[in-house]
Amino acid sequence: MRIDRMERTRPPSRRQGGDDFPRALAGILIFIASSFVSCSPQLYQARADREAYAILFEKSDEVENVEPEELPLVTPAPPDLSKLLPRPQTDDFLGEFTSYETGAKLLNLDDSLDKGIHHSREYQSAKEGLFLAALDLTLARHRLAPIFDADGTVTRASDSRAFQLEEGMTEIVATNTFSRTQSAGFNWLLKTGARLSTDFTQDFLRILTGNRSVNDSDLAVSLVQPLLQGGGSAVTLEALTQEERNVLYALRDFADFRRAFIVDLVSDYYGVLRARDLVKNNFLAYQGFVKNVEREEALADEDRRTQNQLGRLRQAKLQSESRWIDAIRVYLARLDEFKITLGIPVDSKIILDDRELQKLRIDEPGISLEQAVSVALVSRPDLATASDQVADAERRTKVAKNGLLPKLDVALDYNVRSDPNDTTPAINRERRRWSGSLDLDLPLDRKSERNIYRETLIEVDRAKRAEELARDRARLQLYDSWRALEQERLSFAIAEQGVALATRRLEEQQLLGELGRGEARDLVDAQEDLVDAQNQRTATLIDHTLARLRLWRDMGILYIKPDGSWAEKLENESR
């Protein structure tokens, strides 16, 4: 159904002066458009950065553990290792591989965290993903602003195809013309769903043969306002609202990423130290076997040991040497992997500070499991996002419900142009046409819209279940982290007892061996048990520290500082 009303005025007399307003408007619009077109790529990049960073700085206030100064994208310079101190002495337990640590720079945990924050490829990729989310929002905001456009065409032509020779003519004469077409305007989607568009077009033709010219100018303005389907700010702003929330979600994900990244980095650091400690323990065990074999060989020369007992010790010595060499390979491989994680060249000579192991301690969390769960349910960003996504789904349901309505749009059009055969670009505002219309589209076929609406209802139920699942998984993570922390505490106590017991056993077997009353098998077992107990003690101490960090991470209270160090919100524990 369409209802139109039109008005035409009688052709007025030709205007001499013309109207300067359309000409000025066209000039301004063309100038704005040309200024954008003429921008350099560097200027476009600077503008994109400025808009995206403004969004991130604005929304970072809504997310804890994300500071504005940490968000800008900066191409990191190669890591500077010159300020690191060299290791004062080299250890001999690397054997032939000692050269790998000769002259190496000593990298403590704080330096590792700082270099990981500023040079890690994974961390830089996470920051770029956050920036891209903000960049998407700039486009969504742009769609609700006036969008200008301008174009033009200039043509110089010579045409002799239609010329007919007459009597007395000796050559074909071409018609030479110069034409210019230019237009400018804008399109603006308003928050109410209305779309306002304008277009100013000017056609100019000059016939060079005879020096005649024709100018035609036209200004059109159109406004379309949906009254039912597609109308209202809720529908119009839905895409923008979702993009705004997506940036907020991306910031929350980045906050969680920073926690997980630091915990993983600490885990890798201690993993390298654990591998190095394993090398040292296996080396000491090998040295012990060397001494035991030498002593047993002396006893065998005195017929106080059988060749079978001596052979068993020699075999155990070879196996111990093999384990030592294999431990060196594992340690160096893990060290190289850690360099890659930090963004340090793999051929750089660094060594991790094993004094960091001496700083580790067994600490109680200071809160109960129930308190930890309660804190997590209000502190974790992913749970806040899961809750907000329920609201997103409910909002999309309202938009889909709007799609079931009839389409009823009111449109207003206004057009004004220049006088016929006018040689100037002036527009005569008395030569106008306006119209108003009402467009109605009855909802006779709404199966597609019906299905979309039903899908949104299902999405609401799914979002609610996802929120419940996220909360249950958060509780499960807390339970697992809590149990792991308690288990590692008990394991460390057991490992301490194991080291003390294995040390006494080895001392007893060595004493029995010196008295000629020991068995080679018992000595081998005691030596291997001591190595295993020492390795287990180091492992449980590291695992307890990591379990404590993971507990703070899963509670959402592990706060990462700009240099990569951490602070825990509930206690005074900090790094």
Which sign does the torsion angle of CA 233, 239, 244, 249 carry? positive
Residue 81 binned pLDDT confidence (cut-offs 50, 70, 90): confident
Q: What is the value of pTM for the model shown?
A: 0.82
DSSP letter string, 94-128: GGGGGGGTTTPEEE-HHHHHHHHHHH-HHHHHHHH
Q: Are 427 and 417 in contact (CB under 8 A)?
A: yes
pLDDT digits (tens, 9 = 90+) for 466-525: 999 999 999 999 999 999 999 998 998 998 899 899 889 888 887 877 776 766 667 777
Beta-carbon contacts of residue 229 (< 8 Å; ≥ 6 apart): 402, 403, 404, 405, 406, 407, 408, 441
CA distance 286 to 284: 5
Lowest mean pLDDT segment, chosen from 49-53, 93-97, 402-406: 93-97
Cα radius of gyration rounded to whole Å, the chain = 40
The average pLDDT across 209-234 equals: 87
- Residue 51, C-beta contacts closer than 8 angstroms, at least 6 positions apart: 134, 135, 138
- Tokens representing 436 are 């108003």
First to last CA, the chain: 72
Query: Contact at 8 Å (CB) between 154 and 179?
Result: yes
pLDDT of 258 over the 60 cut = yes
- Say how far apart CA 502 and CA 531 lie, in whole Å: 9
Q: Report how far apart, in Å, the C-alpha atoms of 263 and of each of 69, 113, 142, 258, 560 are.
A: 22, 10, 39, 9, 10
- Mean pLDDT of the chain, nearest integer: 84
Paired tokens of 449: 């819209």
Average pLDDT over residues 87-114: 84
Over 60: is that where the pLDDT of 549 sits?
yes
φ/ψ (deg, to 5) at 557 = -120, 15
Please provide residue 112's backbone torsions phi and psi, each rounded to the nearest 5 degrees.
-65, -45
d(CA 263, CA 63) in angstroms, rounded, equals 20
- Residue 163: pLDDT above 70? no
Cβ 409 vs Cβ 439: under 8 Å: yes
- Average pLDDT estimate for 180-193: 91
